[in-house]
């Protein structure tokens, strides 16, 4: 492991010991010098590890006594249930609910637990502005000319170099840039489907996928998805003869936050390769991991070119830049032709800014800070929910990303609860938005990529009171 990440490795070991209760509340930790000798690292590296754990309120420093475990991982609340795919659709179309939620996003007086992106306070805006100015100066035409249809060569080269998780399996010619990840997914769907085709998707799944399916005249089969391990491969296997394409989020799905194990990813790719079914892989949150290493995408196991790997910087760096990409495998020519017809090319200026961030290590530096903040926020949100919400609340346990999925008492309709919460200037995403079936009506998605402060804590407390009053 790189020297820069040694402190994370040490912190993760201690964190795991706290989670397994090998280290218990009040236990004294090894001294800084003891850990230095044990791991053969510098004193500063050990200090960084302890600072990382302190930032998550897992350990505390006591003057002249050392470091002690200050918080346990003991979960009071259960994991959410897996969806019921035998449920039929009903007349409650989620589109009206989606529109209602989105109308609230422009109101800055509302605490936006509904937003599917990071708060601007978590983004390196000053550094981006500096990079933008430098990039404009480099361009002879200030970025006003058309670029190659496939996208900025500089950006594609840096994405290929930076995607170390794929271990050199990509080069610049394998990548096509897009206007964000959703544009990449839409282009993939257009490349491999025709109206009437059937697509397998997770359940629950990001509501934008459902909107794409409807606009393209496709039929969807929702696959039951576990909140920890992702899609049920056995359930998928049973319907594969009826499927034309799959679209899954393998790493930290939206909204569950599930992470498909490597062996499941490998088996999924093998299974789809056998049936020659393309897989559109949304890896938008893969870089927001809380562990020591970035999880591999399904694309890593793809030998036949059936996996179309989509990602962007929209959830990590600059949502408004709309810089995304796809490694479409055997479908590259189709994607390029569609991009030519739709947009001719994507704006070059923001692509070059992102390329600059990648090339000079600024993106990696930002991601390390962002991941630490998100993990800390996740723990704080979970703690607040366990304290303020009813005891029968069920809550996801994401290992990355920034979404929490809550399952409430069956008496609660979160679409109705949303109307009550908005009156108190609090928003969230009701569960009905994430399915075409009549389910998840008592669920909600919360975004924890906010700047944690007293207001956020107070609003979670108020939301918990609303939930209790609705039972």
Q: pLDDT over 70 for what percent of the chain?
A: 96
Q: How far apart are CA 386 and CA 71, in angstroms?
A: 14
pLDDT at 405 over 50: yes
Is the separation of the CB atoms in 264 and 293 below 8 Å? Answer: no
Give the per-residue pLDDT at 146: 83
Give the per-residue pLDDT at 44: 86
Provide mean pLDDT across the span 236-265. Answer: 96
pLDDT at 70 over 80: no
Give the per-residue pLDDT at 2: 45
Provide mean pLDDT across the span 353-364. Answer: 92
Give the per-residue pLDDT at 76: 63
State the CATH architecture for 3-69. Answer: Orthogonal Bundle (1.10)
Provide mean pLDDT across the span 109-128. Answer: 93
What is the chain's mean pLDDT, rounded? 90
Where do the CATH 3.90.1150.10 domains begin and end in the chain? 94-123+366-469
**Residues pairing with 221 in the sheet:** 200
How does residue 400 score in pLDDT terms, banded at 50, 70 and 90? Answer: very high
pLDDT at 74 over 70: no
Residue position matching structure tokens 């003057």 = 63
Provide mean pLDDT across the span 327-339. Answer: 95
Provide mean pLDDT across the span 83-103. Answer: 76
Provide mean pLDDT across the span 171-193. Answer: 95
Per-residue pLDDT tens digits for 274-284: 999 999 999 99
Where do the CATH 1.10.10.10 domains begin and end in the chain? 3-69
Give the Cα-Cα-Cα angle 445, 202, 297 (nearest 5 degrees).
Answer: 100
Sequence-ordered strand ranges (E) for 72-218: 111-112, 176-178, 198-203
Per-residue pLDDT tens digits for 377-387: 998 999 899 99
Residues 6+ apart with CB under 8 A from 275: 240, 241, 243
Give, in words, the CATH class of 94-123+366-469.
alpha beta
Q: pLDDT over 90 for what percent of the chain?
A: 66
Give the per-residue pLDDT at 423: 95
Length of the chain: 471
Provide mean pLDDT across the span 424-437. Answer: 95
Closest CA to 111 of 447, 432, 466, 395: 447
Strands 111-112 and 394-395: unpaired
How does residue 89 score in pLDDT terms, banded at 50, 70 and 90? Answer: low
DSSP result, 175-238: -EEESSHHHHHHHHHHHH--TT-EEEEEES--HHHHHHHHHTT-EEEEEEEETTTEE-HHHHHH
Give the per-residue pLDDT at 1: 40
Provide mean pLDDT across the span 89-96. Answer: 69
Residue 261: how many other CB atoms lie within 10 Å: 13
State both tokens at 177: 């840039």
Give the per-residue pLDDT at 72: 52
pLDDT at 3 over 50: no
Closest CA to 227 of 118, 87, 88, 83: 83
Q: How far apart are CA 351 and CA 153, in angstroms?
A: 10
Residue position matching structure tokens 């990409």 = 325
Give the per-residue pLDDT at 88: 65
Strands 403-407 and 443-447: antiparallel
How does residue 137 score in pLDDT terms, banded at 50, 70 and 90? Answer: confident
Is the separation of the CB atoms in 203 and 225 below 8 Å? Answer: yes
Where do the CATH 3.40.640.10 domains begin and end in the chain? 125-363
- Report the range of poorest mean pLDDT among 164-173, 438-447, 458-467: 164-173
Provide mean pLDDT across the span 99-117. Answer: 89
Per-residue pLDDT tens digits for 16-62: 888 777 888 778 899 999 898 888 888 888 888 888 888 777 888 87
Residue position matching structure tokens 């795919």 = 85
- Report the range of poorest mean pLDDT among 7-11, 193-197, 236-240: 7-11
State the CATH architecture for 125-363. Answer: 3-Layer(aba) Sandwich (3.40)
- Report the range of poorest mean pLDDT among 159-173, 242-256, 437-451: 159-173
- What sections of 281-361 are H helices per DSSP? 332-342, 348-359
Give the per-residue pLDDT at 96: 83
Task: Name which residue leads in pLDDT, 293 or 322.
Answer: 322
pLDDT at 91 over 70: no
Closest CA to 290 of 12, 10, 4: 12
How does residue 471 score in pLDDT terms, banded at 50, 70 and 90? Answer: confident
Provide the b/e sequence for 178-194 (b: ≥16 CB within 10 Å).
bbbbbbbbbbbbbbbbe
């Amino acid at each position: 492991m790189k020297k820069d990440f040694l402190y994370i490795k040490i912190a993760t070991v201690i964190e795991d010991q706290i989670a397994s209760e090998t280290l218990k509340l009040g236990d004294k930790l090894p001294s800084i010098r003891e850990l230095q000798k044990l791991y053969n690292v510098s004193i500063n590296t050990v200090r960084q590890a302890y600072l990382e754990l302190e930032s998550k309120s897992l350990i505390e420093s006591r003057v002249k006594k050392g470091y002690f475990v200050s918080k346990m991982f003991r979960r009071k609340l259960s994991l959410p249930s897996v969806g019921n795919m035998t449920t039929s659709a009903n007349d409650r179309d989620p589109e009206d609910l989606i529109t209602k939620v989105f109308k609230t996003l422009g109101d800055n007086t509302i605490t936006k637990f509904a937003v599917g992106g990071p708060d601007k306070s978590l983004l390196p805006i000053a550094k981006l502005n500096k990079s933008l100015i430098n990039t404009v100066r480099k361009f002879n035409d200030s970025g006003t000319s058309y670029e190659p249809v496939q996208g900025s060569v500089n950006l594609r080269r840096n994405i290929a170099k930076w995607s170390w998780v794929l271990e050199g399996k990509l080069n610049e010619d394998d990548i096509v840039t897009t206007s964000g990840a959703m544009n990449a997914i839409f282009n993939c769907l257009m490349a491999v489907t025709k109206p009437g085709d059937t697509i397998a998707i997770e359940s629950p799944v990001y509501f934008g996928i459902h909107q794409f399916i409807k606009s393209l005249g496709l039929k969807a089969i929702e696959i039951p998805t576990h909140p920890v391990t992702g899609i049920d491969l056995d359930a998928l296997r049973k319907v594969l003869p009826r499927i034309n394409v799959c679209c899954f989020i393998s790493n930290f799905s939206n909204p569950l936050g599930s992470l498909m194990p490597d062996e499941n990813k490998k088996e999924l790719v093998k299974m789809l390769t056998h049936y020659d079914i393309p897989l559109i892989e949304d890896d938008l949150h893969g870089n927001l991991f809380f562990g020591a290493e970035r999880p591999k995408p399904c694309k890593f196991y793809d030998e036949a070119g059936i996996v179309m790997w989509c990602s962007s910087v929209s959830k990590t760096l600059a949502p408004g830049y709309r810089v995304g990409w796809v490694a479409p495998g055997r479908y590259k020519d189709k994607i390029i032709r569609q991009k030519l017809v739709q947009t001719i090319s994507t704006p070059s200026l923001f692509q070059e800014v992102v390329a600059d961030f990648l090339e000079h290590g600024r993106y990696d530096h930002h991601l390390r800070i962002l991941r630490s903040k998100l993990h800390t926020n996740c723990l704080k949100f979970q703690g607040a929910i366990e304290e303020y919400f009813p005891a029968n609340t069920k809550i996801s346990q994401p290992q990355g990303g920034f979404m929490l999925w809550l399952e409430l008492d069956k008496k609660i309709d979160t679409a109705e609860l949303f109307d009550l919460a908005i009156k108190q200037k609090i928003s969230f995403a009701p569960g009905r938005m994430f399915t075409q079936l009549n389910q998840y009506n008592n669920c909600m998605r919360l975004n924890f990529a906010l700047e944690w402060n007293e207001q956020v804590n107070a609003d979670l407390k108020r939301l918990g009171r609303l939930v209790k009053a609705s039972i």
